[in-house]
A and B are shown apart, each in its own frame.
Chain A
């Protein structure tokens, strides 16, 4: 069909075009025609009932099938139209157009705070890296929960891990975006999601190491150094994009507090059971299981001999 034509050429209109209202009208028309055919078929069948032709039943079955087919076609067309309108994920397509080298570079940069805060720093508006990092955090949490035999009473392990990680990423991003709006910071929602997502790289490293090597002091060192570095990086970016001391303080203080506390929460909430198990296993020193030879006492052999003699005598 012509793109800019105001005149609709009815000859070229096929079944896939037109509104559903027209389809219904077309179907209604077709049904009327078929009813008329059926009426004629009825009168015909009444005349020759013994005929081999199916007659009334055949026509009614055919009509039923055609109506059902029409309904299905109309329904399918409407559903696919609605789907293509609302579930258009192509809006997100530009945010996933990345190269592996870019992702690696951004991961490494997320741990390096930049000192230049007088000029707005560039944030990559990309969602592949942050999404993968959130899923990695989910996997690390699951692994930690499984190794420490954490029991979740109301819910599943997978649901808890996904809920925690995605809830943090989306919830805190939205909250900080809202604060940034109040504090007049120059940052978009996608940039905030990207920034916070890459900030979870530090969390992933810390938890991966400390879920496997259980030393509290090691965790605190990682918390301060690795967690602190990624927080400083995010804070520096936000400071470079905000004007005014109070606004900078509010925004960056909130983000730093939430980010550091989240790491603390993840460490303590999901593996503290391990400490209890370790204590019980290394409790009192137990000697290795020893096999003791069983000494058959002399008395029993005498009893055995007399018993044997008694049996021999009776036989």
Chain B
């Protein structure tokens, strides 16, 4: 597996960075582009949606692709140093992990009540906060975390829309 570039230790480190929203991100962890983790997370998201009765793999992949492209253009315009598409796709894929928790919850409970709205908002905030934290540390864009977090929140909001409805 190491020959394929799938380094489990790095995957685990990045997953922990996403799951602890208050932990400071190390800027160097995004140097190697790892798409194995994000692919697994996308599949897991689609699988949890499938368990809830929504067969929407196509939407998940389509929105991921378009969202990654949009974020790639925006971050290239906003940062001093450029960013590669693989890096953007990797970060956005890893930060999809809390959204999998939301869709797992949606299997058992309906998210269309007040509690569902609060939970959805919390999870969107968690995902976009983690993604913006990693982008800021990797691209050295101090003071612009909110500006990076907002488009991420819009993207994860669309994923949440798929989970909820």
- Chain A residues within 8 Å of B, Cβ to Cβ: 89, 92-93, 95-100, 103, 128, 132, 135-136, 139, 142-143, 146-147, 158
- Chain B residues within 8 Å of A, Cβ to Cβ: 63, 73-74, 76-78, 143-144, 146-147, 150-151, 154, 157-158, 161, 164-165
Query: Do B143 and A100 touch (CB < 8 A)?
Result: yes
- State how many angstroms separate the Cβ of B100 from the closest Cβ of chain A: 21
Known: A99-B144, A128-B147. A93 touches B77 (CB 8 A): yes
Interface residues of B, dominant DSSP: helix
Query: Do B165 and A146 touch (CB < 8 A)?
Result: yes
Query: Do B147 and A98 touch (CB < 8 A)?
Result: yes
A84 CA to B151 CA, complexed, in Å: 26
**Cβ contact of A96, chosen from B78, B157, B164, cutoff 8 A:** B78
Query: Do A100 and B77 touch (CB < 8 A)?
Result: no
Query: Do A96 and B161 touch (CB < 8 A)?
Result: no
- State how many angstroms separate the Cβ of A121 from the closest Cβ of chain B: 25
Known: A96-B78, A146-B165. A139 touches B143 (CB 8 A): no
Chain A positions within 8 Å of B165 at CB level: 146-147
Query: Do A142 and B73 touch (CB < 8 A)?
Result: no
| 20 pairs, A vs B, C-beta closer than 8 Å | A92-B77, A95-B77, A96-B74, A96-B78, A99-B143, A99-B144, A100-B143, A100-B147, A128-B78, A128-B147, A132-B154, A136-B154, A139-B158, A142-B158, A142-B161, A143-B161, A146-B164, A146-B165, A147-B165, A158-B158
Chain B positions within 8 Å of A135 at CB level: 151, 154
Chain A positions within 8 Å of B161 at CB level: 142-143, 146
